[in-house]
Chains A and B, each alone.
Chain A
Amino acid sequence: MIALRGVHKSYHTRLGHREVLGGVDCVFRPGEQVGILGRNGAGKSTLLRVVAGVERPTRGRVERGMTVSWPLGFAGAMHYSISGADNARFIARIYGKPLGPTLEFVEDFAELGEYFGMPVRTYSSGMMMRLGFALSLAVDFDCYLVDEVVAVGDTRFGERCRKALAERRERSALLLVSHQAETVRAFCTSAAILHGGRLTRYDDLDQAIAQYEAG
């Protein structure tokens, strides 16, 4: 279970103090596939980073009763000057996974071909997403945090992601942030709307989408 208790997050910017999350209270349970809908700039990525624990809430707390992936999206988690294979070795080492099988899995899932041995900075954004996703599946988390860019980036790969996640449906949870209702409908069984720094959960997916599209 992941519980957010009164989570606030604000940043100091050149324009002054800006509050992105203004008191988020929410619980995510194992096996749930939750889509978080929000417009551009609503704070979706911030929410993912706070849930992942890579950024601290300014106020409030996050309780993690299961292992949570890093936020899967364009940036982060990898080192760009070393190869995909070296990144896989690094991930295996820091998460205490066996090197051989991890490398094999990542190479197979990411389908990078000979680029697997090349520095990540030479990859296209699609290749980076595939590598990032493969790395996170190799670690085998209880809960995956996914930015929509991964899910929709490349249709065929998106399909494989969906399958990989579906296979884990029994034990894995998924939090997917998106500004598109269709993406949430494809991946999730329930949804929430992030608006004005607050998160509202809906048990019924259609109700959430209707609400989101009306807003």
Chain B
Amino acid sequence: MRAAAGAPVLPALRVQLRVVGALTLRELGTRFGRDNLGYIWLFLEPALLGGAIGLVHHLSGHALPGGVDVGTFWVIGYVPYYLLRGVLNRGPSAIAANQSLLYHRHVTLLDILLARNLLEGAATAGALLGFALFFGLVAGEWPREPAKIVLGMLLMLGFAHGAAMLLATGSVYSEIFDRVTHLFTYLSLPITGAFFMVFWLPTELQRAALWVPTVHVFELVRDGQYGTLVPTSYDVPYLLGWVAALNLLGMAGLRRARRDLAL
């Protein structure tokens, strides 16, 4: 796509890195501007929303099954969900918003989506890091295995990125994707697994819930936060299968869409 067939891989990769880097900086500029708090909003937005949800549930005083810490539960459920929703919702508009940049031959659709989604990933990672420090310092609630949280966030990003590529592909052929994606992410919130734990459910429902790929992400992240304090169930290879399949289909879709796209 980028270079003639048989072009060396390394220079092509360097071009791609350069382009994704430039697109990310531009995305930062267009989304947050250059004034006032500017780029701080990148982290502040998910942090404020996540913090508000954690605080509300903390103050409401409802205990959670299994004695899970209320504040951390809602925050570490909300922040990965914010990543999922942000990436999916922005998928259908990604191409239209950047179409004029396709006048530069080596800007690809994949680069455009990568730049947007990496930025979204960085924003939520920053917010989550802030929360980890906050809960650790204030309440002594340090994550038991931070590496699992990192892995969970990476898998969520990979999953959402793959799905967003398919949504972006769809948006080239039909407006319907732009119209229904927000509705879909909103309605699907209860089944994503952001705000329930698998062990709370009856056995039958547990089996059903574990078909949903994102349920595994949230359980993995909770395992990283709480360790053996609460039982978690997830299957990383199952999740990896989803991520790989969505990404391969998504990249194939974008390739096809680029051919059919009239600028």
Binding site for B on A (CB under 8 A): 11, 49, 52-56, 68, 70-71, 75-82, 86, 89-91, 93-96
Contacts and interface: CB of A to CB of B under 8 A. Distances in A.
A68 B22 CA distance: 20
B106 interface: yes
A56 B258 contact: yes
A76 B103 contact: yes
Interface of B is mostly: helix
Contact of A86 (B26, B100, B258): B26
Contact of A81 (B18, B30, B107, B259): B30
Interface string B31-43: 0000000000000
Interface of A is mostly: loop
Interface string B106-119: 11000000000000
B166 to A, nearest CB: 21
Interface residues of B, number: 24
A78 B100 contact: yes
B103 A79 contact: no
A53 B105 CA distance: 6
A115 to B, nearest CB: 16
B101 interface: yes
A49 B22 contact: no
Interface string B16-35: 00110111011001100000
Nearest to A87: B26
A45 to B, nearest CB: 10
B18 A70 contact: no
Interface string B181-220: 0000000000000000000000000000000000000000
Contacts of A55: 261-263
Contacts of A94: 18-19, 22-23, 104, 106-107
